[in-house]
Amino acid sequence: MPLFWRIFLLNAVVLTVATALLLGPVTVSTPVLLTEAAVLTAGLAAMLIANGVLLRVGLAPLQRLTRAMTTTDLLRPGARPAAGGQGEVAELITTFNAMLDRLEAERTVSAARALSAQEAERHRIAQELHDEVGQTLTAVLLELKRVADHAPPAVRDELHQVQETTRAGLDEIRRIARRLRPGVLEELGLSSALKALTGEFTGPALSVRHHIDADLPPLSRDTELVLYRVAQESLTNAARHSGARRVGLALEHTPAGVELSVRDDGHGIHGAPEGSGIGGMRERALLIGADLSLGPGHGSGTEVRLVVPTHRGSHRPCPR
Q: Could you list the mean pLDDT of each consecutive 10-residue stretch along the chain, which spans 320 residues?
A: 70 75 66 73 78 74 77 70 70 82 78 76 81 85 86 83 88 81 80 89 88 89 89 88 87 91 83 73 84 80 89 44
Each domain of the chain, given as residue ranges in start order, spans: 3-73+83-105, 189-320
Q: How far apart are CA 158 and CA 154, in angstroms?
A: 7
pLDDT at 27: 66
**Burial class for 319, CB neighbours closer than 10 Å (0-12, 13-18, 19+):** middle
DSSP labels, 221-280: HHHHHHHHHHHHHHHHHHHHTS--SEEEEEEEEETTEEEEEEEE-S---TTPPP-HHHHH
Helix, strand, or coil (residue 116): helix
pLDDT at 315: 41
pLDDT at 318: 43
Helix, strand, or coil (residue 315): coil
Q: How many CB atoms lie within 10 A of CB 164?
A: 12
Give 189-320's CATH code, choosing from 3.40.190.10, 3.20.20.70, 3.30.565.10, 3.40.50.300.
3.30.565.10
pLDDT at 313: 40
